[in-house]
Structure 1
Amino acid sequence: MSIVVTGASGRLGRLTVEALLRRGVPASDVVATGRDVARIKDLADLGVVVRRADFADPDGLAAAFEGADKLLLISTTTVDERVANHRRAIDAAVAAGVSLVAYTSMSHADTATTILAATHRATEEYLRERPVPSVLLRNSWYLENYTDQLPLVLRGGAVVGAAGRGRISAAARADYAEAAAVVLTTEGHAGQVYELGGDEAFTLAGLAEAISAATGKRITCTDLPAAEFARVLTGAGLPAGLADVLADADLGMSRDELFTASGDLRRLIGRPATPLADAIADALR
C-alpha cells in the first residue's frame, strides 16, 4: 500500500517525502519519482523506493505507479506542456488502480484568469472526469518565490512587481508539503477542495516593509505595468515566455487571485503557517 510522490527531485516533492517519513510512513511504502533519479539517490539510501517517471513517457509512468495506493501529482513546471503531462499521469494513476489522486493546483483555479490558472483548471476538470477519487490542493504562492530573491532585492533596494495592492497569501513550501502529507495519510479528503495559503496575506508594499524591518535597510516597492515588469524579468535573464507568465501571475495577484482567508492550510497542518517575517529571517541567516 504505497504512496507515490511525483516530482520528488523538486523542492516541494522532496519536502513531501520527508513529511511522510516524519508522520511515520515506512520508507519502503513511499515511492519517490522523478526524471533524474540521481538527484534523489539520498532518498533511496533512506529506504525510500525511487523510480524514474517522465510524464512524456506513458509506459514509464505505468511502471513508476505500479502498486500505488495513493498518488500526489505535483504540477509540472513547463507551462505549455503541463496539461498534456498531467493527463498522461492521471491516466496512468487510473490504470494503476490508485484509491486517491491528490493534485497540487493553484488558488481559485476555477475562477482565476491567469495563464497558470488556466492550466490548473484544465487539469482539475480532466481529473474530475476520471474514475478515481481525488482531492485538490490549491496552493497559493510560495514564500520562497520572494525570499530566494532577497540578494537581488537588497542590491537594488526595491521589491519590483506588477501586483498593485493585491493581497498574496503566500506560505512556505514546507507548509504545503506537510498539508499534502496529512491528506495522503489520513481519511476523509476525497472530493475536497482545499484553498491553501498563509494566515496573514501581504501586498508587495508590505513585503518591502517586512524586508526593511528585518534588514534595517530601506526597501521600496516599485509597481510596474505588467508588460514593463516582463521586460525587467527578461533583462534579468529569464526566457521571454516565462517572464510573460510571471508578469501575468502578478496581474492575477492584483485581482486578489492568490488571496485566501479559508484557513484550510492551518487546519490541515494543525498549527499556524510560517509567517513572512520568519521566512525572511531564515533566508537572511
Structure 2
Amino acid sequence: MILVTGASGQLGRLVITSLLEKTAASNIIAAVRNPETVADLAEKGVQVRQADYNDVASLVTAMQDVEKVLLISSSEVGQRTAQHSNVINAAQQAGVSLLAYTSILNADSSPLILAQEHVATEKLLAESGVPYVLLRNGWYSENYTMGVATALQYGVVGCAGDGKLATAARADYAAAAAAVLVKDGQAGKVYELAGDNAFTLSEYSAAISKVSGKTVAYQNVPEAEFTQILVAAGLPEGFAAILANSEIGASQGALFSDSKDLSTLIGRPTTSIEDCIKKAL
C-alpha cells in the first residue's frame, strides 16, 4: 500500500496519475483533508482516507496497513516544519517501511529562505528512525509559465540576473516520485531532481518569443523593486519577499544542478521549457 499526502494538490494528483500506470488503484491511498475533493480518484478505485497535517491522530489512522508514504511538503510556508513533524511521527507510530519526502534542490547547501524548513524536515527524518528517501525537487517550470500571458503583455521581470534555472515540468517530478515509490531498496537515497536543460530568464524570454511569435524582453531589477512588483500583483508581502529571495538565490546558482537523477528516474528527457510554454499558451 502506498499513501500520498496532499493528494488533492497539483503535485499529489499527478503522482497518483503516474502511480496508476504502475500499480493497481487498490494499492494507492489518497490522503486528504477533505475527501470530497478527490471523489474523482475514488471513482477510479483509489482508496481515500481523511488526514490533516495538523492532526497526528488522523495521520496515524490513515497510515494503518501502509507500507510506503509520500510526504508532499506542505504549502503553508512557516508552518511546514511542525506539520511535517506530525507526518513523520505518524509514520513512526504506524511502522511504515519507507517515507519519501519532497524536499528542495541542493537543500543542504541552499541559501534560499524556502530551504530552511526543508532542511529542518530532513533533520527530523534523520533523527526519526523511519527509513526515508529524499526527493530534492528543483523549481517547477510552471512557476514561470503560469505567468506567460503577463509576460507577453509586459515582458519578463525578475531579479535572477544570469542565473541558470534547471526547471522541469511538475509532471516530471510526479513521475519521479511514483518511480521511487514502486522501487525496492530506496531507503537512504538522496535524489537531486532538476531539468536537463537549464536556462536564464533572458533565454526564457527568448523561448517565449520563439513560441509565441511576439518579442518578449527580460528586465532584471533590484530585489526590493521585484518584491514590490509582486505585491502590486496581489501577493502577500512576506511571500513576495520569499519569491524575490529565491530569484536572488537563482542568480547565485541555487536553482541549478547538472544532476540527471530526474531524467534517469523517469526514463526519458525532462520536459523542455519550450514545451511548457506551448502548453501554457
Tell me the distance in 2 between the aligned counterparts of 1:170 and 1:195.
12
- The total of aligned residue pairs comes to 281
Q: Displacement of 1:212 after TM fit?
A: 0.5
- After TM superposition, list the pairs within 5 Å mapping 1:120-139 onto structure 2: 120-139=118-137
Which structure 1 segments of 5+ residues have no match? Answer: none
Tell me the distance in 1 between the aligned counterparts of 2:179 and 2:265.
7
Residue 107 of structure 2 aligns to a residue whose secondary structure is coil
Tell me the distance in 2 between the aligned counterparts of 1:39 and 1:136.
28
Residue 105 of structure 1 aligns to a residue whose secondary structure is strand
Please name the residue that 2:36 is paired with. Answer: 38
Tell me the distance in 2 between the aligned counterparts of 1:51 and 1:247.
37
Amino acid at match of 2:83: N
Residue 244 of structure 1 aligns to a residue whose secondary structure is helix
Which structure 2 segments of 5+ residues have no match? Answer: none
Alpha-carbon displacement from aligned partner over 1:187-238 (angstroms, at most 9, x marks no partner): 2321111110110001111110100000111101011111111110010001
Please name the residue that 2:249 is paired with. Answer: 252
Alpha-carbon displacement from aligned partner over 1:18-48 (angstroms, at most 9, x marks no partner): 100111x111110001222222110001110
Tell me the distance in 2 between the aligned counterparts of 1:188 and 1:271.
22
Residue 68 of structure 1 aligns to a residue whose secondary structure is coil
Amino acid at match of 2:220: D
Paired residue for 1:73, among 67, 71, 74?
A: 71
Residue 114 of structure 1 aligns to a residue whose secondary structure is coil
- After TM superposition, list the pairs within 5 Å mapping 1:134-173 onto structure 2: 134-156=132-154, 158-173=155-170
Q: Displacement of 1:160 after TM fit?
A: 1.0
Please name the residue that 1:191 is paired with. Answer: 188
Tell me the distance in 2 between the aligned counterparts of 1:39 and 1:18.
16
Q: Displacement of 1:66 after TM fit?
A: 1.5
Paired residue for 1:217, among 190, 214, 219?
A: 214
Residue 173 of structure 2 aligns to a residue whose secondary structure is helix
Tell me the distance in 1 between the aligned counterparts of 2:180 and 2:117.
23
Amino acid at match of 1:155: Q
Tell me the distance in 2 between the aligned counterparts of 1:176 and 1:195.
11
Paired residue for 2:98, among 92, 97, 100?
A: 100
Please say which of residues 63-72 and 176-185 is displaced more in the overlay: 63-72
The answer to whether 1:8 aligns with 2:7 is yes
The answer to whether 1:268 aligns with 2:228 is no
Tell me the distance in 1 between the aligned counterparts of 2:209 and 2:7.
35
Amino acid at match of 1:67: D
Q: Displacement of 1:246 after TM fit?
A: 0.7
Tell me the distance in 1 between the aligned counterparts of 2:157 and 2:81.
30
Displacement over 6 Å in runs of 4+? none
Residue 202 of structure 1 aligns to a residue whose secondary structure is coil
Tell me the distance in 1 between the aligned counterparts of 2:32 and 2:159.
33
Percent identity among equivalent residues? 50
The answer to whether 1:238 aligns with 2:258 is no
Tell me the distance in 2 between the aligned counterparts of 1:38 and 1:204.
40
Amino acid at match of 1:10: G
Q: Displacement of 1:130 after TM fit?
A: 0.9
**Structure-2-length-normalised TM-score:** 0.98
Tell me the distance in 1 between the aligned counterparts of 2:98 and 2:252.
33
**Structure-1-length-normalised TM-score:** 0.97
Q: Displacement of 1:70 after TM fit?
A: 0.2
